[in-house]
Structure 1
Amino acid sequence: MLKYSNIPIIASFFCLWLNSLFSKEVQIIVGFSLIFTFGILHGANDLLLIKNMKNSTNKISSKKIFLYYVIVVLFGLLLFYLIPMVALLLFILVSSFHFGDQQGFYLDFKVSKYILIVYPFIYGIVILFLLFFLHSNEVKVIVTEIIRFKVPTLYINEILLTSGLIFLSISAYFYWKFESFRKKLQTELFLLLVFAILFKTSSLIWGFAIYFIIWHSIPSILDQIKFIYGSFTFSNFIAYCRNAFAYWLASLLGILLLYFLFRDKEIFNALFFSFLAAITFPHVLVILKMMHKKTTKNP
């Protein structure tokens, strides 16, 4: 990650420049293309990650692991079909923690274990709702399609303000209490400014794609390759892609099937995001387990 650490900032400002060249339609096309490639790829090797975790799951056959994984995905889809509001709220909560955790808020000082969970979760909420706040009209349309009825308000402003105040309060305490955390916090506050500019100047899909790919998916892929193979090399990257290909292709075909069946209907956006949410649920659990194994290996 050290070699990659400066690339996201450069890439983000490059994407800012692209905003002036791309129309909104082109941004959406390129954004979806990135999500379909690197975005889906970063979650397509979950089964290989599970097999590389030296615990009791090694005793379970690959077929059973695959079956359990598919059951979780199908449960997620069923939840979106039966209780879409609950499923959507769960997806936002899970994604927020996942995004905040991937940003690297691994506290190397003694704090409550609850803070270790709450802090990255709140940070993820801030990032996600910053995007929602700057594209609130588009978000309201998609949410209405997902839950199948119109809500008076989504409380986006209130949630962003509340989570922002909580995040700043905890951050201020850590900044005052722990000198080792100050540089990291300064960097993240600068990045929040970068994210705000990116989200403001781009479409909803383009802004989400930039963050999701540059700041989440690619760093996650690098972490996964190091966990599976011990180090990142081009040959290990090729092996990673080869192992992920079947599951990546299956996910892509599932999305394409939804598109061809429902492309002319208003519910396509709802089905698309529901499908992404469903495959996100098991992925987050796998990555949390992977990070735990990394932590126990390198205390």
Structure 2
Amino acid sequence: MLKYTNFAIVASFFCLWLNSFFPKEIQIFISFLLIFTFGILHGANDLLLIKNTNDSKNAFSFTKILIYYVLVVLSGLLLFYLVPVLALLLFILVSAFHFGDQQGLYLDFDVPKWLLILYPFTYGIVLLFLLFFFHINEVQIIVTEIIRFKLPSYYINETLIISGLIFISLSVYFYWKFESFRKKLERELFFLLLFAILFKTSDLIWGFAIYFIIWHSIPSILDQIKYLHGSFTFTHFIAYCRNGFVYWFASLLGIGLLYFLFRDTEIFNGLFFSFLAAITFPHVLVILKMSHKKHSKIA
């Protein structure tokens, strides 16, 4: 994974360099192309992961798993329609923990478990709200389309400050108490600085796409392939793509249908992000279960 981290750093700075060459329209096109390919692909094998993480004595049929999964997605969409404020809040909270967990900050120290959960969660909140802070006007427009009223900017600013203080406090505590964590923390603080530079110098969609693809989706795909097959090879990657093709294609059809029906309306962006949020909810639960089982095997 160290080799990939070095690649991700170089790729991030390369994308920053490209930022000055591509007009905004081209950046948006490339961003959505990456999100529609690697971004959706990294959640396309959730059903297979569920099947592999279930114990044999608690195994469910593929049909039951599929039904439960679809119900969670539809429940997410319904929640965005009925109570958009609550749905958006849940999406941010779940995504924050998911991003922090993917960075490897779900720790296993001899401290209360709530601290171990709070740490990756606050990291994810800082990460997301750094992006929101540097593009506050664009974020307000999208959020308004989802929740149907304007979000005051001080909500974003104060959330960033409070979560930042909590994250720094926990980091200082872990750095002082656990020597084995110090190098890891130094790397993550460097990455956080890199993400801040990335978000500050890029447009909203371009900055998010670079982080989401390079630092989240591709590492997640690598972890999933290693979990499913024991190692990463090109053959295993092809098998991963083949297994997830139906879900990936169905997601694209759903997004395409939204675009066809609402492309000329002001609510399209809100519907688009609501759809992505809805398919995120079950994915986060699947990855968390996969990570728990993987760490249990190691222990």
**Could you state the TM-score of these two structures normalised by the residue count of structure 2?**
0.97
Q: CA RMSD in A?
A: 1.2
Equivalenced residues, count: 299
- Name which of structure 1's ranges 143-152 and 93-102 shifts more when overlaid on structure 2: 143-152
User: How far apart, in 1, do the equivalents of 2:60 and 2:180 lie?
Assistant: 42
Cα deviation, 1:71-117, whole Å, max 9, x if unaligned, reads 00000000000000000000000000000100011424322211110
The match for 1:141 is 141
- Name which of structure 1's ranges 24-33 and 273-282 shifts more when overlaid on structure 2: 24-33
User: How far apart, in 2, do the equivalents of 1:193 and 1:283 lie?
Assistant: 27
The match for 1:226 is 226
The match for 1:72 is 72
The amino acid of 1:181's aligned partner reads F
User: How far apart, in 2, do the equivalents of 1:103 and 1:29 lie?
Assistant: 27
- Contact 1:140–1:154 (CA under 8 A) maintained in structure 2: no
The alpha-carbon deviation at position 2 of structure 1 amounts to 3.6
Cα deviation, 1:245-276, whole Å, max 9, x if unaligned, reads 01000001100110111111000000000000
The match for 1:206 is 206
- Contact 2:80–2:87 (CA under 8 A) maintained in structure 1: yes
User: How far apart, in 2, do the equivalents of 1:260 and 1:57 lie?
Assistant: 45
- Contact 2:174–2:181 (CA under 8 A) maintained in structure 1: yes
> What 5-or-longer segments of structure 2 have no aligned partner?
none
The alpha-carbon deviation at position 149 of structure 1 amounts to 2.1
- Contact 2:106–2:119 (CA under 8 A) maintained in structure 1: no
The match for 2:287 is 287
The amino acid of 2:121's aligned partner reads F
The alpha-carbon deviation at position 3 of structure 1 amounts to 3.2
SS in 1 for 2:4: coil
The amino acid of 1:150's aligned partner reads K
Q: 1:275 to 1:57 in 2, by over 3 A?
A: farther
- Contact 1:126–1:163 (CA under 8 A) maintained in structure 2: yes
Structure 1 runs of 4+ aligned residues shifted over 3 Å read 151-154
- Name which of structure 1's ranges 176-185 and 127-136 shifts more when overlaid on structure 2: 176-185
> What 5-or-longer segments of structure 1 have no aligned partner?
none
User: How far apart, in 2, do the equivalents of 1:73 and 1:105 lie?
Assistant: 27
The match for 2:112 is 112
- Give me the identity figure in percent: 77
The amino acid of 1:149's aligned partner reads F
- Contact 2:100–2:106 (CA under 8 A) maintained in structure 1: no
- Name which of structure 1's ranges 268-277 and 7-16 shifts more when overlaid on structure 2: 7-16
Q: 1:57 to 1:42 in 2, by over 3 A?
A: farther
The alpha-carbon deviation at position 150 of structure 1 amounts to 2.5
SS in 2 for 1:150: coil
- Map of 1:76-95 to 2, 5 A cutoff? 76-95=76-95
User: How far apart, in 1, do the equivalents of 2:144 and 2:273 lie?
Assistant: 12
Q: 1:174 to 1:226 in 2, by over 3 A?
A: same
- Name which of structure 1's ranges 273-282 and 56-65 shifts more when overlaid on structure 2: 56-65
